[in-house]
Amino acid sequence: MYRYDEQDHKLIRERVAQFRGQTERYLAGELSEEEFLPLRLQNGLYVQRLAPMLRIAVPYGLMNSTQVRRLAHITRKYDKGYAHFTTRQNVQLNWPNLEDVPDILAELAEVEMHAVQTSGNCIRNTTTDQFAGVARDELVDPRPYCELIRQWSTFHPEFAFLPRKFKIAVCGAEEDRAAIRAHDIGVQIVKNDQGETGFQVFVGGGLGRTPIIGVAIRDFLPETHLLSYLEAIVRVYNQLGRRDNKFKARIKILVKAMGAEEFARRVEAEWEQIKDGAEQLTPEAIEWSKRFFPEPAYKTFSEGHGEAVLRDRAGEDKAFARWLERNTFPHRVDGYQAVTLSTKPTGIPPGDVTDRQLEAIAELADKYSFGEVRVTHEQNVVLADVEQEQLFDLWQEARKHGFATPNIGTLTDMICCPGGDYCSLANAKSIPVAEAIQRKFDDLDYLYDLGDLDLNISGCMNACGHHHIGHIGILGVDKKGEEFYQVQLGGSANEKASLGKVLGPSFSRDEMPETIGKILDVFVENRQPEEFFIDTYNRIGLQPFKERVYAKAS
Amino acid sequence: MPKPANLSAKKPVGAQPENPAQLIVDGAVVENEWNLLPLGSDEEISARSLAPGKVILPLSVWLALREDLQGRKDEIGVWLDSDETADLIGEYAAELPLIAANFPAFTDGRGFTAARLLRQRYGFKGELRAVGNFIRDQLTYLKRCGFNSFAFQGEQPLQGLLASMQDFTDSYQTAVDQPLPIYRRRALA
């Protein structure tokens, strides 16, 4: 992973000092609330319903065990002993004191972490595939490019006060596991006919109250021009994006209003002016960045050896077999497998982990996966490089710490925002809905029979829970002070991205588990063998679901 | 007969920049020698009626009077409102002694882009002045985008703000102050 050098350390230390000064001025009344707001947001600090919330950056989701241990320490010392993994692959603390935040940032800086640009109207944490570098369907490892984007966007002097927040995601594999079409800019790594690396560039995707799937404005951008092209896009947006109405300020609104072709034309015109400038990625620069993501010291295993061991184990132990089936992912290197630690046992808010669990994650990473962990945008944790021979031992340890719920990719592995329990923006609670659904559908055989199914829950239309791109999406809405939930079907986040359609009138919280049950019944009755929910939905449409869910009792 | 320009703006007038007596130029507190004409009065103005001395005209006025003011080139500056892009000055920038960019609110970041383009695309070498509601916490970013002059609104102890010019002493990406991004400096080292 990327390691700071003296310049990184200096920049982050200067940032901590700057924010310490700003916090002191604010507390002394020298900096107004209005002025402090964007400054604290760009340092990850929200003021929330119950307490401040601090969002810590995890660049493209990658951390080492030292950093994870420091997070554990910070949650104990400054918070209530737990942290929350977010859909931007970041980590949030829910209860820090404002006065302590400069100290927290100083402690983070010591382990090469920070909270820079995790909020505010600036370029946010760049996200990617949690299986970057190990996935079999990968064309090119996206992490070196993510790191170059991180450096380019960090403290960018021109783009710190954009019309709105700005999110970039990069995908280097055939399957899009980074939801790039739901981002302001989505970067898909591609190869051209000559075998050269380049990028397909999507722009104008995003969720929130006007969800839009991004459109490709360039099919092949040569590798060397990545940053100048991003700069051209953001520059056009900074000049022309709306600033009169925050709900119409995202780049997706500009692209839609202008038309993707005209937007692309302006970007190309701007890019022509800067493409051969200093921001060009020279081969040396790319090589330099790649050096931070070397292949770990894999052992050499004969083909099929590890799998044979696993087959035997799995034959003896059904629980292990289940976990293996759902919570591990094929690895491009013989004898290795990637493991997803589930943060979603029933009754725990999705993405929440305690300080002890963080320490356990660090220990497991050291013991089984070269000391590295990744946060997924589905709010789980991945150990990417585990020897197949060690999977059984890892599973047993993960179970002790509550990470081995074998539900990855199933209905109960839901994305869920913190909702009305914590967030001052929320119209409704989301965690109790997640829990009620998890409780109703706790039969693993049934879950497995349903197969891959994304259920996403947001407590308000800001869509932090990505409800628009869940196969089943749930949105909390407020009706005259009461909480209700709207259901959407048919969203998806991958390379065939689509937005869900609203099923019909909303439901009370109590009605939600039963409603989901009816939707699943329609799926089960209509599916063809081995068909996934999204494919059945695409085949039969919304109507059969609607009829069942809203049928009058006879 | 050249037409007089009207100071009243056709568009709704946003927050107008002030013209403080003192400001920071090139890292030092200095007296302001320029008179900034805001938009929004009904006053008609022509090259002839323009008071003598150094003056910063709104873009629309400057565009109307530019030809007639050729003789006073060294004492005529222009200011851009936040919705006015740098290309509206374009190549003329190279001849101007001063350009100001207005920040109606410090969260309105369009002036950062305007500054970079004036410096890097349109060859502007003169005094680039931030006017309006920017704040000290933005000084390093403003400086990196090419501003060398800072006219803070209201009463501000300017000497006390100078330290903020050094909040960051290095940078990752290229800008007006830094020809090479950090990865090229590192990879080539």
pLDDT band at A4 (very low <50, low <70, confident <90, very high): very high
Higher-confidence residue: A308 or A289? A289
Q: Cα(A253)–Cα(A300) distance, rounded to whole angstroms?
A: 51
User: Does pLDDT of A391 surpass 60?
Assistant: yes
> What is the per-residue pLDDT for A533?
97
> What is the per-residue pLDDT for A144?
98
Q: Cα(A514)–Cα(A516) distance, rounded to whole angstroms?
A: 5
User: Does pLDDT of A79 surpass 50?
Assistant: yes
Tell if the CB–CB gap between B107 and A281 is shorter than 8 Å: no
| pLDDT tens-digit readout, A124-153 | 999 999 999 999 999 999 999 999 999 999
User: Does pLDDT of A103 surpass 70?
Assistant: yes
Please list, in sequence order, all residues whose beta carbon lies within 8 angstroms of the beta carbon of residue B58, skipping any fewer than 6 positions away: B7, B9, B37, B38, B39, B78, B79, B81
Q: Residue A386: which of A418, A338, A347 has the closest Cα?
A: A338
> What is the per-residue pLDDT for B11?
54
Residues of B in contact with A15 (CB under 8 A): 168
> What is the per-residue pLDDT for B1?
45
Q: What is the average per-residue pLDDT within A153-165? A: 98
What is residue A487's three-state secondary structure? Answer: strand
- Whether the Cβ atoms of residue B7 and residue B42 lie closer than 8 Å to each other: yes
- Whether the Cβ atoms of residue A368 and residue A387 lie closer than 8 Å to each other: yes
Q: What is the average per-residue pLDDT within A387-400? A: 97
Higher-confidence residue: A50 or A278? A278
> What is the per-residue pLDDT for B13?
63
Q: Cα(A155)–Cα(A10) distance, rounded to whole angstroms?
A: 13
Q: Cα(A45)–Cα(B157) distance, rounded to whole angstroms?
A: 28
| pLDDT tens-digit readout, A37-61 | 999 999 999 987 777 899 999 999 9
For an interface test with B, the pick among A239, A242, A280 (most B C-beta atoms closer than 10 Å) comes out as A239
User: Does pLDDT of A8 surpass 90?
Assistant: yes
> What is the per-residue pLDDT for A245?
93
Q: What is the average per-residue pLDDT within A503-510? A: 96
Tell if the CB–CB gap between B109 and A238 is shorter than 8 Å: yes
Residues of B in contact with A238 (CB under 8 A): 109-110, 112-113
Residues of chain B whose pLDDT is less than 70?
Answer: 1-13, 41-42, 187-189
How far is the alpha carbon of A152 from chain B, nearest alpha carbon, in Å?
Answer: 5
Report DSSP state, residue A166. B
Predicted ipTM of the assembly: 0.94
Residues of A in contact with B172 (CB under 8 A): 11, 151-152, 154-156
